Amino acid sequence: MLAALRHGREEAFEQLVRLYGGRMLAVARRFLRNEEDARDAVQDAFVSAFKAIDRFAGNSRLSTWLQRIAINAALMKLRSKSRKPETSIDDLLPKFRDDGHPLRAPLPWKEDFDALIQRSEVRALVRERIDQLPEPHRTVLLLRDIEEFDTEHTAKLLGISTAAVKTRLHRARQALRTLLDHHFRGDAA
Structural domain boundaries of the chain? Answer: 2-80, 90-184
Give 117-135 pLDDT, tens digit per residue: 666 777 788 888 998 898 8
Give 20-40 pLDDT, tens digit per residue: 999 999 999 988 878 999 999
| 90-184 CATH | 1.10.10.10
State pTM to two decimals.
Answer: 0.64
CATH topology for the 2-80 domain: Rna Polymerase Sigma Factor; Chain: A (1.10.1740)
Give the ranges where the chain is alpha helix by DSSP (H).
2-6, 10-31, 35-52, 62-80, 113-116, 120-132, 135-141, 151-158, 162-184
